[in-house]
Structure 1
Amino acid sequence: MAPPFKILIFGRTMAYRHESIPAGIRALHRLASASLSGAHPFTAEDSEDPSLFNPTSLSAYRVIVLLQCSGEFLDDIQLDALKGFVRSGGGVVAIHCASFAMQSSEWYGRLIGTVFDNHPDPQPGRLRILDPRHPNMTCQCSPDDTDTRPGEEALERTWLDEWYNFKTHPRTGSTGGDLHVLLSVDEKSYKGGKHGDDHPVAWCQSFDGGRCFYTSLGHFDEAYEDEWFTGQLLGGILWTAGFSSVNNGP
């Protein structure tokens, strides 16, 4: 078995702070603990200390999880260290409010894939699972939670969250990578959507030498107790770490 790699869970906020950050930290530590008996073990450290964003410190990690970071959470030197980490092949998993961060940096926006604009009040919506076979989608919905509409292959699931609208559409923005949409939300299932029939909410891409997985889901504590959602975080960690297979069993 290969030695465990390390991930950094970083939850610093300089603007809005989500109450679900502690739940996210606990969930990610649980995933790390469970991975130690699997094929791709990893350990997790959590911090809000931006001084870690220097080349020496970041070289210890294979993946950085930006857990609900907001505002200008890095200065220019620290942002340069993140750029160096990605350009050296590092992985980034960005969750929910991370698209609301570092709006001064065009590079950061391309790393995430787009920039948060606004959202309606939290409400249930119908998710479309566009690529259930992608390595990031490690946990499939149970039959009770999914259906397939006539003529469509996409699985579907009802989910309660904040449905983010973005300043530019993720598929058409200039990311400099190969952004691949994994989940979208049906705007007819809730009120307040701004992207029409194609509203991405989670995607992944190779970018500037590294890999990034972003999900706009995860507003509530309950998401981090949900195996379907945390399975995607696990898949994102392993995929951004460079593993094509996410089978983490013994």
Structure 2
Amino acid sequence: MNRSLLPLAVIALALPAAAQAQAQYKLLVLARPSTYHYEYIPIARDSLERLAKLHAFELVFTNKTNVFEGDLSQYAAIMFLNTAGSELNAAQRRRFEAYMRAGGNAMIVHRAAIMPANDWPWYEKLVGRTVGVHPMLQTGVVTIVDRGFPATYGLPERWLWSDEFYVTSNPYRITIDPVLNVDESSYDPRKIWPGQMSHPMGRDHPIAWHHRFEQGRVFVTTLGHNGEMYRDPQYLAHLMGGIHWTATGRGQRP
């Protein structure tokens, strides 16, 4: 080896990985176990860590809500992964509200869209829709509403997918931009547990959307019920498209 190259080689070996491949942005993911959502956590963490390495962003994955007591401004986006805002205490909620009002961005995934009634109306407005009861997990056909949005780029026009297709309402009259719909003719929207009732929403049944809230971007996908979904390449492409847009505001087709 050329002796003149030795110092450069030593320097390269001494540099930390982050310095050799600078992260584009920092994403905070809050994922806490609950009665119906816990087995997904190690699978989702592994998949998101691989996405972070592949797409050169920094990932902070935690189940501790006290992270909201620290400096949130360092995060380009915060993902609530199957973990709703009801998990935050009053002080943590105020910090998150301030983060959004300062231009922060949020991504809401599946169970994170469900809040107890009147618990935190601000968070329900951030989500953009209020989730009611939902049919049992079934296989249905997901359709593309906005082909120009990054969370659709890895999906076919009609995507056969199995999930809980949430029924939502809009009590706060929030305007959203739908990204994905579900075709209710492809499953039974009334199939639910004894003692409950689920009503179809009709042709307009959004299951993923985006909008602006306070001073930031919000992307919501109600898909992602069970752990195996976080190994599926198409679902991960859907998530990555949402992450990219939420964190950077880029990637939409004009």
Measured against the shorter chain, the TM-score band is 0.7 to 0.9
Range with bigger deviation, 23-32 or 182-191 = 23-32
Distance 1:34 1:102, change over 3 A: farther
Tell me the matched-pair count. Answer: 223
Q: Which residue of 1 aligns with 2:206?
A: 200
Distance 1:102 1:30, change over 3 A: farther
Residues 1:124 and 2:139 are matched in the alignment: yes
String of CA shifts for 1:29-87, please: whole Å, max 9, x gaps. 11101012xxxxx1101111111113x42122111110000472001110111111111
**Counterparts of 1:210 and 1:66 in 2: how far apart (Å)?**
15
Shift of 1:221: 2.0
Distance 1:196 1:236, change over 3 A: same
**Counterparts of 1:13 and 1:71 in 2: how far apart (Å)?**
14
**Counterparts of 1:31 and 1:246 in 2: how far apart (Å)?**
19
Distance 1:46 1:3, change over 3 A: closer
Shift of 1:242: 2.7
String of CA shifts for 1:130-173, please: whole Å, max 9, x gaps. 112213323132xxxxxxxxxxxxx211111111112x14xx75
Residues 1:223 and 2:229 are matched in the alignment: yes
Give the partner amino acid of 1:164. Y
Identity over the aligned pairs, expressed in percent?
A: 32
Give the partner amino acid of 1:24. A
1:128 touches 1:185 (CA, 8 Å); kept in 2?
A: yes
Give the partner amino acid of 1:123. Q
1:240 is aligned, of 227, 241, 246, to: 246
Q: Provide structure 2 residue ranges, at least 5 long, that are not aligned to the other structure.
A: 1-20, 191-198
- SS of the aligned residue for 1:118 comes to coil
1:185 is aligned, of 168, 177, 182, to: 182
Distance 1:106 1:236, change over 3 A: same
- SS of the aligned residue for 1:101 comes to coil
**Counterparts of 1:70 and 1:5 in 2: how far apart (Å)?**
23
Distance 1:90 1:70, change over 3 A: closer
Residues 1:17 and 2:31 are matched in the alignment: no
Distance 1:91 1:99, change over 3 A: same
**What is the 5 A alignment of 1:67-146?**
67-70=81-84, 72-101=86-115, 103=117, 104-141=119-156
Q: Provide structure 1 residue ranges, at least 5 long, that are not aligned to the other structure.
A: 37-41, 142-154
| Larger of the two Rg values belongs to structure | 2
**Counterparts of 1:173 and 1:182 in 2: how far apart (Å)?**
20
1:128 touches 1:157 (CA, 8 Å); kept in 2?
A: yes
Q: Which residue of 2 aligns with 1:149?
A: none
Distance 1:209 1:71, change over 3 A: closer
- SS of the aligned residue for 2:43 comes to helix
TM value normalised by structure 2 = 0.80
**Counterparts of 1:32 and 1:211 in 2: how far apart (Å)?**
20
Shift of 1:227: 2.0
Distance 1:31 1:102, change over 3 A: farther
Give the partner amino acid of 2:136. D
**Counterparts of 1:188 and 1:173 in 2: how far apart (Å)?**
28
Q: Which residue of 2 aligns with 1:152?
A: none
